[in-house]
Amino acid sequence: MSGLILCREKTVTHPYYVAELGIHLYTGEELSYFICNNILLIDEDFIDERLFDFLEQLGETRLCERARRLKEQAGLYDVLYLLLQELRYYTTAELFAFRHRLEELSEASPGVRMKAKGDYLFECGQFYHAIRVYDQVMEGGGSEMADSEFVAKIWHNKGCCNARLEIFDEAMYCMEKAYQLTKDTMLLEKMFVISELGGEHIPHAADDVISPAMRRQFRTDLEDRKKMAMYSGKALEVATAMDKEPEEREEAFRTLLARWKEEYRRNQA
């Protein structure tokens, strides 16, 4: 959870702990914020005795009883919507948007929802948790596993997670698996970067495709990113932008550059 929340409500003695993000929730406002902004992390286990005890500590006995009944009669998303309604942290318009998002998620397959959870953990920097979720998607054997593009994205994201953790041999293996499915040139560049940073050999099937011109361009791009990270102190932001899909990456870099220029101008004022 990021950002500043000004909490005015009652705090609890025993907070609700969210293991995936390593945070504690102390107020109804924080609970509402977490639910609304981290819906992809929430599964059926979220609505448990710990949550009911949390509500009791807040003095929300009636809400606790309603949530218990609704858990038995309906589903997870109905309980979450009830909590946001009754805790009154969000406006009607915001609740409407949240309901719409719940409807979209409920229509998605379990595999798609699980991958989205892994992607969210990846974006939050929770790389070990993300890898575990991606493994669960592949072990689940859902219908999505017949979609080579879907599977390739999982392998790619697993590779990025392992690279961030400096587990370069596993990162190279994941990128190779993704490349076997798509033959995407972007993955050749990822394997080149992993080889440069971690000393791993690029698999022959991929290395043979990399022309001398491509190799020179990959090296130039890598050196440029190193310089950008060194002089801006934004290494993590640069790496995050690089991990995006090709069609999103250019826009991400433009956004970063514009923000850094604005920050520079403010600092010079």
Low-confidence winner among 99-103, 134-138, 257-261 (lowest mean pLDDT)? 257-261
Helix then strand then coil, % of the chain, to nearest 5: 75, 0, 25
Q: In which band, very low, low, confident or very high, does the pLDDT at 143 lie, cut at 50, 70 and 90?
A: confident
Please report whether residue 135 resides in a domain. Answer: yes
Q: Is the pLDDT of residue 260 over 50?
A: yes
| Judgement on whether residues 120 and 195 belong to the same structural domain of the protein | yes
Q: Are residues 55 and 115 in the same domain?
A: no
pLDDT at 64: 94
Q: Which comes out higher in pLDDT, residue 76 or 250?
A: 76
11 domain residue, yes or no = no
Beta bridge partners of 16: 25
Confidence check: pLDDT of 263 > 90: no
Q: How confident is the model at residue 2 (pLDDT cuts 50, 70, 90)?
A: very low
Burial of 199 (0-12, 13-18, 19+ CB in 10 A): exposed
Residue 269 has pLDDT above 80, yes or no: no
Does residue 80 sit in the same domain as residue 169?
A: no
Distance CA 198, CA 192 (A): 10
- Residue 65 token pair: 């009883």
| Tokens representing residue 162 in the block | 């392992």
Query: Could you list the residue range(s) of the whole structural domain that residue 33 is in?
Result: 16-99
Amino acid occupying residue 164: R
Choose the final residue of a domain: 32, 64, 99. 99
CA distance 109 to 174: 24
Give the residue with greater pLDDT, 125 vs 261.
125
pLDDT of residue 266: 58
User: 234 and 122 in one domain?
Assistant: yes
Is pLDDT of 231 > 80? no
Residue 8 lies in a domain: no
What is the domain-level CATH number for residue 128?
1.25.40.10
Residue 233, phi then psi, degrees to nearest 5: 70, 25
Return the residue matching tokens 């606790």: 64
Q: CA-CA distance, 250 to 242, in Å (whole number)?
A: 9
φ, ψ dihedrals at 201, nearest 5°? -80, 135
For residue 224, pLDDT beyond 90: no
Are 65 and 159 within one domain? no
- What's the number of domains the chain is made of? 2
Segment of 155-164, 223-232, 259-268 carrying the highest mean pLDDT: 155-164
The CA-CA-CA angle for residues 64, 83, 40, to 5°, reads 125
- Return the DSSP state at 208: T
Residue 119 in domain: yes
Same domain for 115 and 180, yes or no, is yes
CA dihedral 50→52→56→57, nearest 10 degrees, is: 30
Give the H/E segment covering residue 37.
helix 28-37
What secondary structure does DSSP assign to 38-92, as a single string?
-GGG--GGGSSHHHHHHHHHTT-HHHHHHHHHHHHHS-HHHHHHHHHHHHT-S-H
Task: Based on the fold, state whether residues 205 and 242 are members of the same structural domain.
Answer: yes
Residue 68 lies in a domain: yes
Sequence-distant (6+) residues with CB within 8 A of 105 are: 39, 40, 77, 113, 116
- Residue (of 139, 117, 114) closest to 126 by Cα position: 117
Whether 20 and 151 map to the same domain: the answer is no
* Residue % of the chain over a pLDDT of 90: 54
Domain final residue pick, 75, 99, 123: 99
Per-range mean pLDDT, top range of 5-14, 30-39, 172-181: 172-181
Q: Of the residues 69, 99, 129, which one is the last residue of a structural domain?
A: 99
Distance of alpha carbon 153 from alpha carbon 193, whole angstroms: 18
